[in-house]
Chain A
Amino acid sequence: MTAVERRHGRILLGLILAALAVAFASLFVGRYPITPGTMVRVLAARGAEMVYGALARIQPDGALTEFAARLVPAATWEETVETVVFSIRLPRVLLALSIGAGLSISGAAFQGMFQNPLVSPDLLGVTAGAGLGAAIGILLGGSTVAIQLAALLCGIGAVALTYVMSRIYRTTPTLMLVLSGIVVGSICNALLSLAKYLADPHDELPTIVFWLMGSLATVTRDDALHAIPPILGGITVLLLLRWRINLLSMGDDEARALGVNPDRLKTVLIVASTLVTAAGVSVSGIIGWVGLVIPHIGRMLVGPDHRILLPVSLALGGIYLTLIDDLARASTEVEIPLGILTAIVGAPFFAYMLRRTRGGWG
């Protein structure tokens, strides 16, 4: 390991610790006051209960199970505390953390494999498709879960359509992917406008508009349970293949000459990124700029090597969206939609960064 790699390792460790600290601190944001001591005890109690529950199923009268049972402390707090922590704040913080992390790592993977630092995870139409799906779900009067499922499926469907379309012209696959993404995105946006036009302006239209602005204000425990596993699954695939993105970033011919089948690798990466983005967006609505800006900050910290850039983007994105979500719920009486904040904070920061790096992609 070179000295540079050791320094990058320390940066990554610091960011992961910072992400955990930010997540923990974010549990205190909100109107209902909880002291740090109570928070630690509530979390520890739930953790011990889960360990006990698991052990009790494996070994109902083992010594370990008895030991675990003694670790579960008696509740010295009001029941409201548990409701606030486990039904409202923890799901929200975990979702912000994993959606921010997922959008950022997908963005870093896309920028590398498409050899373009200006692309974001919605390049191939996943967010446009998800928006359309959500609008259709809202128009059909679906439940929250139905709307999320519609968003997820349409997001994935849009990318699948882009992919199939690009395969028709085999000459320049990467360029065709990008162009097909633009076509599919435009079609989805046109249909979304149609959906808005047809929507009931007193009830459905505001719901669609708010969904498109992105928010975690109403997320529940179930939302977290539905969205986080696919996000983590996609992230795992991206992390496993991260060094190979370096090879793709040299262009298809060079990747092939270095022993990689670029089409196959890209397909796997696109599937994983799409799963991550679609699962996140289906719960949160559309959140822009995170997937574009965070990888650039990552590159400023650790350089372009995707082996270190992807985990660093992951941690940075988690920190960023968790903080933005704290801002959204704490700054004003009425919650500001997340998509607005990420743009207001992200866009000027991006402009500032371009000035600092003078347009280079270091």
Chain B
Amino acid sequence: MTTGYAAAPPPAEAIAVQGVSCAYGERPVFEGLDLCLGQAEILSLLGPNGCGKTTLLRCIAGLMPVRAGRVLLDGQDVTTLSETERARRMGFVFQEHAILFPYTVLEVVRMGRAPHLGLFAAPAARDTAIAREAIATVGLEHLANRRYTQISGGERQLALIARALAQDPRILLLDEPTSHLDFGNQMRVLETVRRLARERGISVLMATHAPDHALFVADRVALMQAGRLLAVGAPEDVMTEDNLRTLYRTEIRMLTVPDGEGRPPIRAAVAVPSASVAVPSAAAANRSEEQP
């Protein structure tokens, strides 16, 4: 992307989270959190279940009010933007997703055109063309007229990414986009995300609980634990065995596997079975002791 030639270059940060605190009722999820997403960067928010990843994404998307601090989108406070303005800049790919009415894939993706349409307008031919292009980008052309409720989970996830793309955003927020998918579909979704960031210069913030997914796509990784950021930086720097052990409270080894000539080796995280795991009852006893 040649953003450098634009008349008014955007700030270096697509998203800046500054001292943000958030809570459900009295229970704080995180306090005074700082995080930046660079332009055209893939930042992976990595952490165990319940550490606050989804809540942080929802705060950034303006779906949840923040108690303190602020979130800047291209330098503008997100709370000063209308829903429409937010949706033009930022697409959100949800994790949990129950859909009742069996819309076709094309109809679902076309909904992404909403922020570009007037209040009384419905998608026109041009919007349909943009939606079709988005569907082609994620490789679902053959399913455009199929019912969204009748395609597989992986295809649905790709369709949701296509819908976010139809918004024509500069920023994509993805909440566990691979959580219910099989191995092949996980990789297809992740490769699509990586391609979008590289080819279109879209900035991506992706929450995931799987270290390998962060290693696969991320330029930088933010390790999140119980509402705090443990470390933020390049995957090779922050995804150490020590850090991951702290994060997941289990023994982990980092492996480096060669990937043919002229290509960088592949890194992967592997959980190591501890001695106690071999005996299920002992493992259960161990876990119950660990609970505070």
Q: Do A and B come from one complex?
A: yes
Which residues of chain A from 227 to 248 have any CB-CB distance to chain B below 8 Å in the complex? 240-244, 246-247
Report the Cα distance A246→B107, complex, angstroms: 9
Report the Cα distance A240→B103, complex, angstroms: 20
- If A240-B120, A259-B114 touch, whether A305 touches B87 (CB-CB below 8 Å) is no
Report the Cα distance A250→B114, complex, angstroms: 13
Q: Once the chains bind, are B92 and A257 in contact (CB under 8 Å)? A: yes
Per-position binary interface string of chain A over residues 302-314, scored 1 when its CB falls under 8 Å from any chain B CB and 0 otherwise: 0111010000000
Q: Once the chains bind, are B115 and A304 in contact (CB under 8 Å)? A: no
Q: Once the chains bind, are A259 and B115 in contact (CB under 8 Å)? A: yes
- If A244-B114, A303-B104, A307-B122 touch, whether A2 touches B145 (CB-CB below 8 Å) is yes
Q: Which of B94-102, B268-276, B283-291 contacts A (4 or more CB under 8 A)?
A: B94-102
Residue of B83, B87, B100, B111 near A361 (CB, 8 A) is B100
**A68 on the B face (CB < 8 A):** no
Q: How far is the CB of B204 from chain A (nearest CB, A)?
A: 15
Q: How far is the CB of A268 from chain B (nearest CB, A)?
A: 10
Report the Cα distance A256→B111, complex, angstroms: 12
- If A2-B106, A246-B107 touch, whether A256 touches B62 (CB-CB below 8 Å) is yes
Q: Once the chains bind, are B104 and A258 in contact (CB under 8 Å)? A: no
Number of CB contacts from chain A to chain B under 8 A = 85
Q: Once the chains bind, are A256 and B63 in contact (CB under 8 Å)? A: yes
Chain A residues with CB under 8 A of B278: none
**B167 on the A face (CB < 8 A):** yes
Question: Which residue of chain B lies nearest to A262 when distances are taken between CB atoms in the complex?
Answer: B83
Q: Once the chains bind, are B128 and A241 in contact (CB under 8 Å)? A: no
Chain B residues with CB under 8 A of A299: 101
Report the Cα distance A112→B121, complex, angstroms: 18
Chain B residues with CB under 8 A of A112: 101
Q: Once the chains bind, are A117 and B100 in contact (CB under 8 Å)? A: yes
- If A241-B119, A256-B83, A259-B115 touch, whether A361 touches B145 (CB-CB below 8 Å) is no
Q: Which has the most chain A C-beta neighbours within 10 Å: B82, B84, B111, B163?
A: B111
Which residues of chain B from 85 to 136 have any CB-CB distance to chain A below 8 Å in the complex? 85-88, 91-92, 94, 97-104, 106-107, 111-112, 114-115, 119-123, 125, 128
Taking residues whose C-beta sits less than 8 angstroms from the other chain, chain B's interface range is 35 or more
Report the Cα distance A244→B197, complex, angstroms: 30
**B61 on the A face (CB < 8 A):** yes
Q: How far is the CB of B109 from chain A (nearest CB, A)?
A: 11
Q: Once the chains bind, are B100 and A115 in contact (CB under 8 Å)? A: yes
Chain B residues with CB under 8 A of A4: 104, 145
Q: Once the chains bind, are A258 and B101 in contact (CB under 8 Å)? A: no
**A1 on the B face (CB < 8 A):** yes
Q: Once the chains bind, are B101 and A304 in contact (CB under 8 Å)? A: yes
Question: Which residue of chain A lies nearest to B144 when distances are taken between CB atoms in the complex?
Answer: A2
Chain A residues with CB under 8 A of B111: 246-247, 250, 258
Question: Which residue of chain B lies nearest to A239 when distances are taken between CB atoms in the complex?
Answer: B120
Q: Once the chains bind, are B92 and A250 in contact (CB under 8 Å)? A: no
Q: Once the chains bind, are B87 and A257 in contact (CB under 8 Å)? A: yes
Residue of A2, A115, A117, A304 near B103 (CB, 8 A) is A304
Question: Which residue of chain A lies nearest to B123 when distances are taken between CB atoms in the complex?
Answer: A243
**A39 on the B face (CB < 8 A):** no
Chain B residues with CB under 8 A of A304: 101-103
Chain A residues with CB under 8 A of B102: 303-304, 360-362
- If A2-B106, A4-B145 touch, whether A253 touches B63 (CB-CB below 8 Å) is yes
Chain A residues with CB under 8 A of B128: 2
Q: Once the chains bind, are B115 and A305 in contact (CB under 8 Å)? A: no
**A261 on the B face (CB < 8 A):** yes
**A254 on the B face (CB < 8 A):** yes
Per-position binary interface string of chain B over residues 207-245, scored 1 when its CB falls under 8 Å from any chain A CB and 0 otherwise: 000000000000000000000000000000000000000
Report the Cα distance A360→B103, complex, angstroms: 12
Q: Once the chains bind, are A246 and B103 in contact (CB under 8 Å)? A: yes
Report the Cα distance A342→B119, complex, angstroms: 35
Residue of B106, B115, B120 near A258 (CB, 8 A) is B115
Query: Which 10 A-B residue pairings sit nearest by Cβ, starting from the closest?
Result: A259-B87, A259-B115, A304-B101, A243-B122, A257-B92, A259-B84, A240-B120, A258-B114, A362-B102, A259-B114
Give B contacts to A, CB under 8 Å: 58, 61-63, 82-88, 91-92, 94, 97-104, 106-107, 111-112, 114-115, 119-123, 125, 128, 145, 147, 163, 167
28 inter-chain pairs at a CB distance below 8 angstroms, sorted by A residue, are: A1-B125, A2-B106, A4-B145, A112-B101, A117-B101, A240-B119, A240-B120, A241-B119, A243-B123, A247-B111, A247-B114, A250-B99, A254-B97, A256-B63, A257-B86, A257-B87, A257-B91, A257-B92, A258-B163, A259-B87, A260-B114, A261-B82, A299-B101, A303-B103, A305-B107, A361-B100, A361-B101, A361-B102
Q: A244-B114, A303-B103 given; name 9 further pairs at CB < 8 Å.
A: A4-B145, A116-B100, A117-B100, A243-B121, A251-B98, A257-B61, A259-B86, A261-B82, A307-B122
Give A contacts to B, CB under 8 Å: 1-2, 4, 112, 115-117, 240-244, 246-247, 249-251, 253-254, 256-261, 299, 303-305, 307, 360-362
